[in-house]
Amino acid sequence: MKKSLSLVVSLLISGWLMAQIVAGPMIGHVEFRTATLWMHFDANVKEATVQFIEKNLADKAAQQIKLSLPGGEFNIATAVLTGLEPGKVYDYFIYTAKGSAVAKGEVRTQSLWQWRTKAPDFSFLAGSCNYNNERQFDRPGKPYGGDSSIFETMAKEKADFMLWLGDNWYTREVDYFSTWGMMKRPATDRSVKVLQPFLKAMPHYAVWDDHDYGWNDADRSFPLKETAREAFMKFWANPSYGMNGQGIYSKFTWNDVDVFMLDDRWWRANDNMPDSINGKPNVDKTMFGKEQMDWLKNALLSSKANRNISFRIIATGSQVLNPISRFDVFRKFETEYNEFIQFLKDAKIPGVVFLTGDRHHSEIIEVKQNGMYPLYDITASPLTAGTHVFGGPEANNPFRIVGVDQFQNFARISFSGAGKERTMQVSFIGLKGEVYKSWSIQTQQLSFQP
């Protein structure tokens, strides 16, 4: 009887402790000597502290960060762990005013290999279109959201980080027109129980697309775009969020790979704007906008000058290359698209691969270019949202070299080898970890010939 009572008390205490954290902790941006933790606390939590210490060094004093909590319904805080050492694992513990740890986990810093050894082998995950059902606010009929156990599979992957490719949550009609609604949607979706182990399993980075920016096909006219940006910054822990208070684009480096995360909504003209005016290209029909494109070009030139970088991944919510797409794709914004492709040729930027979401199927599109290596657009979708069968003009897309339809899936992107034989492998993986399709390419295949 005493054992049973003790068990009940233990479970009640455990439930109470967990109730103090609504979502997280989630690992955000991680560098050589810093790491970011994101947490959403219950509104009743007024004080919180993060303690951290290098693993297996319990005899040393832990470092401590006192969190500044805003209170209220969206009681969110981030903690930046500093003074870390490269390539080390750190244990962290999160405490509230009651003195008991409400969460704990571990985080690994990036390894300092540059100018010392070859680039380490590593992998990351990528995916888009995460729809969590909420019947009272969803469209009537069959639920659009699928099996969320995919996050259990992803949490078990031995990956270095996760890159969310947009539509990371889906705003509904009840969300579009209020600041509270635009905050409530990500708060609701982020708190889903099955997601929590994945959030703490590895660092998370994100771009957005229309459904986590606004409504379907939302463009630069979306009236709550500033609120959308505020929500994005509140619920993700990226290294940065655009410049001059605009957009959410950013960049980070992991080992020998530069990742450029683009904002395909903030400056985007409506898809139905005319492609040409009086027989001339419509220069005002842009997807990324001049400010962002100037940043990207300079960032790519800087990346090219870094001899430690082998691949340059440009990630964004909408597809980039697909010539047969019936939907939004960068190449339909002709002036901006053609100018950017010409820039890649003229500047001889090697190792560029596009990584995109949105389409509710996964595929790899290959477009051969005159004057440079072939370009590839890797689309990973959906995580939990609805799937479909390849159809219409895209049923037998001649530019598709790999395709997965009708299945929820995510991508695992791995890097191995050294020098010109450094290889990137892409695998599309299903709910239970089954590999549907794989494809690989070497860095020498993405170079300009002398």
Q: What is the mean pLDDT of residues 391-398?
A: 96
Q: What is the mean pLDDT of residues 417-438?
A: 97
**CB-CB contact of 63 with 18 (8 Å):** no
Stretch (H or E) spanning 277? strand 276-277
Average pLDDT, the chain: 94
Q: What is the pLDDT of residues 277-331, one digit of tens each?
A: 998 889 999 999 999 999 999 999 999 999 999 999 999 999 999 999 989 899 9
Q: What is the mean pLDDT of residues 236-249?
A: 98
CB within 8 A of 391, min separation 6: which ones?
A: none
Whether pLDDT at 6 is above 50: no
Is residue 432 a part of any domain in this protein? yes
CB within 8 A of 52, min separation 6: which ones?
A: 62, 63, 65, 81, 90, 91, 92, 93
Strand order, beta sheet including 204-207: 204-207, 162-165, 122-127, 410-416, 423-429, 435-442
Query: Nearest-CA neighbor of 161 among 117, 198, 118, 209?
Result: 198
Q: What is the pLDDT of residues 331-359, one digit of tens each?
A: 999 999 999 999 999 999 999 999 999 99
Is residue 69 a part of any domain in this protein? yes
Stretch (H or E) spanning 239? none
Tokens representing residue 442 in the block:
């070497």
Whether pLDDT at 98 is above 90: no
CB atoms within 10 A of CB 101: 14
- What is the domain range of residue 291? 122-446
User: For the chain, what is the domain count?
Assistant: 2
Query: Nearest-CA neighbor of 234 among 8, 2, 442, 26?
Result: 26
Q: What is the mean pLDDT of residues 44-60?
A: 91
pLDDT of residue 11: 35
Percentage of the chain surpassing pLDDT 70? 96
Of the pLDDT bands very low, low, confident and very high (cuts 50, 70, 90), residue 13 is very low
100 and 241 co-located in one domain:
no
**CB-CB contact of 442 with 422 (8 Å):** yes
232 and 312 co-located in one domain:
yes
Q: What is the pLDDT of residues 62-76, one digit of tens each?
A: 899 999 899 999 999
pLDDT of residue 328: 87
Is residue 190 a part of any domain in this protein? yes
- How far apart CA 108 and CA 88 sit, in angstroms, is 6
Percentage of the chain surpassing pLDDT 90? 90
Q: What is the CATH number of the domain that holds 8?
A: 2.60.40.10
Is residue 117 a part of any domain in this protein? no
